[in-house]
Amino acid sequence: MDTLRELYQEIIIDHGRRPRNFGAPKDYTHALKGYNPLCGDQLTLFLTWQGNHIEQAQFEGQGCAISMASASLMTEALRGKTAIEAEKLFQTFHEFVTQSGLTAEDSLGKLAILGGVREYPTRIKCATLAWHTLASLLKGQQNEVSTEV
Ligand code: ZN
Measured in Å, residue 139 CA sits from the centre of ligand 1 at 24
pLDDT at position 3 is 65
Q: Contact, 43 vs 134, CB < 8 A?
A: no
Measured in Å, residue 38 CA sits from the centre of ligand 1 at 7
pLDDT at position 9 is 67
- For residue 50, the 8-state DSSP code is E
Measured in Å, residue 51 CA sits from the centre of ligand 1 at 34
Q: How many CA atoms lie within 13 A of 61 on its CB side?
A: 30
- From residue 104, give the alpha-carbon distance in Å to each of 3, 89, 108: 14, 12, 7
pLDDT at position 113 is 82
Measured in Å, residue 120 CA sits from the centre of ligand 1 at 12
d(CA 123, CA 38): 9
Q: pLDDT in tens for each of the 149 residues of the chain?
A: 566 566 666 677 788 789 999 999 999 999 999 999 999 999 999 999 999 999 999 999 999 989 999 999 999 999 999 999 999 999 999 999 999 888 888 889 889 888 888 888 889 999 999 999 999 999 999 999 999 87
